[in-house]
Structure 1
Amino acid sequence: METQNRHLTTSWGAPVGDNQNSLTAGARGPTLIQDVHLLEKLAHFNRERVPERVVHAKGAGAHGYFEVTNDVSAYTKARFLSEVGKRTPVFIRFSTVAGELGSADTVRDPRGFAVKFYTEEGNYDLVGNNTPVFFIRDAIKFPDFIHTQKRHPQTHLKNPNAVWDFWSLSPESLHQVTILMSDRGIPATLRHMHGFGSHTFKWVNADGQGIWVKYHFKTEQGVKNLDVELAAKLAGENPDYHIEDLFNAIDKGDFPAWKLYVQMMPLEDAKTYRFDPFDVTKVWSQKDYPLIEVGRMVLNRNPDNYFAEVEQATFSPGAFVPGIEASPDKMLQGRLFAYADAHRYRVGPNHHTLPINKPVVEVNNNQRDGQMRSDRNGGNSIYYEPNSYGGAADSAAYKTAAFEVTGSADSVPYDHDDHYTQAGDLYRLLRVEERGRLVNNIVNAMKPVEKDEIKLRQISHFYKADPEWGQAIAEELGLRVPQLS
């Protein structure tokens, strides 16, 4: 930290003569409007908080690098994955999902796991969670889902009635609910959890051949979770426990690391696989599509300024580089728009010019002006295309790979509705004591729900996944498993 004496200045660089007393008309007179230093301080203070994120409001971040450890160039032309040993700087932001900026770190909630790769072809954002699946599979349901996780508009309290009503009416949520209510619903630290891209993406190689992929970041620290009572204690005593742990670990040189693996599925397999491979509420069996190592991510530097780096960092699943493309996943398709649009509202249309978001390569586009333009605004360069003056132009070499679409334009649901097999398989994979804690967590979360109708509807989903599971929850809630047709 710099300790030399420096002049305090205004934002326009003028030295400040008195930062302790405002200008007044005499010792007891009213404050003068000509005190521009006072006015600037107050006006800036009023604007020091950008609107917090609607979701993932509270987070922690760190800088590091990603190093390729396995040659995958046969599957993607992305340059940052082009050769073993190649390193790319990264910034990662971890976060809770539902809570506000001042909420506790150790609540039962998924964790955001967003990685920004500063590649030589532009920034690539992999915006996922610490879970391989999600609660819903169509973006049209996302605002409704998040509303259930937020506060009641009258009481301003969390509303378990809304939470379980929505989940019970959305059986596709069962897989993620199972993970959330299990031991993994409260990670011990941000270092001791896996990360996932969750969605299916497409890799395309230099020959234009494609393959479907799913991303898995496996923590080298091992998976550790918090006991429910300890988590509640920490939430009261140190609500910033996870942020503090990550900062301190990096500060003392205990750099957390993750191995990145992908599952690969041939394009043709998507037509016949027993689960829809683009349904983000489902996983691909690792027996069918084994994990293939790609590289290693290490976090080795803390932010210098939380607001400038962690709070103003913006991530979008639509920030692709050549060789990585979207899939037909309906949840992903909605996120391609929603994330970038959220940043344009929250941080401004020029959020990408801020240092934490700025690519390491030159940006050449015709976007100009707007709030908080922090670079040269394109200077005197050509500001339209096509043009006859040598301005930036598109290149056919970077076109998105062609893909086939069929059918009528319609509001079409997914054609696979087995929401119980994978959730039941996960339940049966748990040890007996883990199943007991899962049941206990669910029961405690459902007890405040006012309507038995909602409880019974949710119990029927647990029962369909595994009869033992549904029966155990019903008994603890003093209810009978509903008659199932």
Structure 2
Amino acid sequence: MHQPPITTASGIPVADNQNSASAGPRGPLLLQDFHLIEKLQHFNRERIPERVVHAKGSGAYGTFTVTHDISRYTKAKLFAGVGKQTATFVRFSTVGGERGSADTERDPRGFAVRFYTEEGNWDLVGNNTPMFFIKDPIKFPDFVHTQKRDPQTNLKSATMMFDFWSKAPESLHQVTMLFSDRGTPDGYRHMDGFGSHTYSLINAAGEKVYVKWHFKTRQGIRNLSAAEAARLAGSDPDYAQRDLFGAIADGRFPQWEVKLQVATEQQLAEWEARTGWNPFDLTKVWPHHDFPLLPVGVLELNRNPDNYHAEVEQAAFSPANAVPGMGYSPDKMLQGRLFAYHDAQLYRVGTNHQHLPVNAPRCPFHNHQRDGAMAIQNGGAAPNYATVAAEGSHPSGLGHGEPALALHGGAGRYDGRGKEDDYTQAGNLFRLLPAQERQNLFDNLAGPLSQVPQEIVQRQLALFDRADPAYGAGVRAALKVKGVNIA
């Protein structure tokens, strides 16, 4: 069916619905990109009151303990000394399902960690996968719509999903992970977590490095077979919630080793020149042989919430919450989320969501934000404004003190699709899988692919072929077992 040209909600034609406006090909993004802002704002307001993504979740409190000194990389006080402990709250979730959906569905898992530091809250908002489906936030609402329900039938649609993925080679890396055994983890305790994005750390000398965060489960990786995941979805749809709550209640406190990969800007530039991969592209990973994992500490969950709604449902995370000694990167998806997460919480929980105990910092804080709904802490009799420094400002030396980020290129929309390598890393992941896990991957993909039109199947198979010929051949064989004739 013919689709009319895309416009804004006010009817203004959209020149480019594929690429956000950025300062040079790498970004960062520009606030003047009203189409991006409008898409994200409307997307954040599509559900009342449920989260539009990560709606079904579980949470617990715990501690982070430093085991290795990383002060050479960051001045953040939570890392100041081996043995130092920081209180934490963690929320796990499925991504695409509603609040009543099953915990065992094939889906990425959210892995959001809040550190209640003496310098404010640090939120590390990630998933159980180190990569993602897309590299530009302007496509995020479109992508998530394909994972939700068909607007006519109100049913989940394999056709919508694979129509999007088959036209987006950048998704292949994450699709391979999703349909592997790791797409159905055995609860939340037996999976790894990742910050996924590239972040930065700044030390006391003002020197910056780029980092990726990893949480390695001490319980061991454990996944469910597709058949067992489907069985549990019917018999115990709250399986992961039950498992996490029960383990903590019984004193079997789950733990993760916290590690990070570190690289200077120069090292990343040299790596990109050698590999051709953009180190700030969320659809890519930094291979461990190029950037080894360095130990940092241990995360332990040891206390269940007293009230699910107050402490888990109303927990409001944002990757923009970074304490002094930490910073961001030109990762376009991260840049979009710095805006979108906080905006979603303003809508979903309220203007003063940070006043709620689970969201409030545990250090002294002071600002001039006043009034609005649920203004629990409203500043008392203190002034609600800051005076103007007539002779110019005098920085206090507190806060981030992040070094300036050099910008390159003219402001515009840059489309690198078709020129970038979206296949090698997906092929590398495929080749890492043992034989039985490869067969599981083929079978898991053949199920939904057998329900979509041939045109989409052929397009998706072509992507598998480019990642590895054995990948495409395996999926074709699994489709034939299901009675699908592949031309």
Deviations 1:212-246 (A, max 9, x none): 10000000000000011111111011100100000
Query: Paired residue for 2:119, among 121, 138, 144?
Result: 121
Amino acid at match of 2:223: N
What is the alpha-carbon distance in structure 1 between the residues aligned to residue 182 and residue 436 of structure 2? 14
State the partner residue of 1:5: none
Q: Describe how 1:272-351 pairs up with structure 2 within 5 A.
A: 272-273=270-271, 274=275, 275-351=277-353
- Offset of residue 80 of structure 1: 0.3
Bigger radius of gyration: 1
State the partner residue of 2:449: 446
State the partner residue of 1:462: 464
Amino acid at match of 2:82: V
State the partner residue of 2:168: 170
Amino acid at match of 1:439: F
Structure 2 length-normalised TM: 0.86
Deviations 1:292-322 (A, max 9, x none): 0000000000000000000000000110101
Deviations 1:13-35 (A, max 9, x none): xxxxxxxxxxxxxxxxxxxxxxx
What is the alpha-carbon distance in structure 1 between the residues aligned to residue 208 and residue 222 of structure 2? 36
State the partner residue of 1:419: 422
Amino acid at match of 2:293: L
Deviations 1:188-235 (A, max 9, x none): 110000000000001100000010100000000000000111111110
1:104 aligns with 2:107: no
What is the alpha-carbon distance in structure 2 between the residues aligned to residue 306 and residue 281 of structure 1? 33
Q: Which has the higher contact order (CA 8 A, sep 6+)?
A: 2
Amino acid at match of 1:431: P
Indicate conservation of the 8 Å contact 2:62/2:89, yes or no.
yes
Indicate conservation of the 8 Å contact 1:261/1:293, yes or no.
yes
Deviations 1:367-417 (A, max 9, x none): 110011112x011112112358xxx99634423321111110011134861
| Residue segments in structure 2 that go unaligned for 5+ positions in a row | 1-46
Indicate conservation of the 8 Å contact 1:90/1:117, yes or no.
yes
State the partner residue of 1:75: 73
**Counterparts in 2 of 1:394 and 1:52: CA distance versus 1, 3 Å:** farther
What is the alpha-carbon distance in structure 2 between the residues aligned to residue 374 and residue 447 of structure 1? 53
| Residue segments in structure 1 that go unaligned for 5+ positions in a row | 1-48
What is the alpha-carbon distance in structure 1 between the residues aligned to residue 85 and residue 48 of structure 2? 33
Indicate conservation of the 8 Å contact 1:66/1:88, yes or no.
yes
What is the alpha-carbon distance in structure 1 between the residues aligned to residue 103 and residue 359 of structure 2? 25
Query: Which secondary structure does the structure 2 equivalent of 1:322 belong to?
Result: coil
Amino acid at match of 2:328: A
What is the alpha-carbon distance in structure 2 between the residues aligned to residue 396 and residue 408 of structure 1? 32
Indicate conservation of the 8 Å contact 1:463/1:481, yes or no.
no
Indicate conservation of the 8 Å contact 1:183/1:434, yes or no.
yes
State the partner residue of 1:140: 138
What is the alpha-carbon distance in structure 1 between the residues aligned to residue 213 and residue 416 of structure 2? 22
State the partner residue of 1:219: 217
Question: Superposition RMSD on alpha carbons, in Å?
Answer: 1.7
**Counterparts in 2 of 1:143 and 1:366: CA distance versus 1, 3 Å:** same
Indicate conservation of the 8 Å contact 1:106/1:187, yes or no.
yes
1:434 aligns with 2:442: no
Structure 1 length-normalised TM: 0.86
Query: Paired residue for 1:253, among 236, 245, 251?
Result: 251
1:382 aligns with 2:383: yes
What is the alpha-carbon distance in structure 2 between the residues aligned to residue 363 and residue 393 of structure 1? 20
Identity of aligned residues (%): 55
Query: Which secondary structure does the structure 2 equivalent of 1:443 belong to?
Result: helix
What is the alpha-carbon distance in structure 2 between the residues aligned to residue 57 and residue 209 of structure 1? 38
Indicate conservation of the 8 Å contact 1:90/1:116, yes or no.
yes
Query: Which secondary structure does the structure 1 equivalent of 2:446 belong to?
Result: helix
1:161 aligns with 2:164: no
What is the alpha-carbon distance in structure 2 between the residues aligned to residue 324 and residue 405 of structure 1? 19
Query: Paired residue for 1:262, among 260, 263, 266?
Result: 260
- Offset of residue 480 of structure 1: 8.1
- Offset of residue 247 of structure 1: 0.3
What is the alpha-carbon distance in structure 1 between the residues aligned to residue 120 and residue 398 of structure 2? 16
**Counterparts in 2 of 1:443 and 1:348: CA distance versus 1, 3 Å:** same
Indicate conservation of the 8 Å contact 1:459/1:481, yes or no.
no
Amino acid at match of 2:321: A
Indicate conservation of the 8 Å contact 1:50/1:347, yes or no.
no
What is the alpha-carbon distance in structure 1 between the residues aligned to residue 416 and residue 382 of structure 2? 47
What is the alpha-carbon distance in structure 1 between the residues aligned to residue 485 and residue 74 of structure 2? 53
What is the alpha-carbon distance in structure 1 between the residues aligned to residue 72 and residue 416 of structure 2? 32
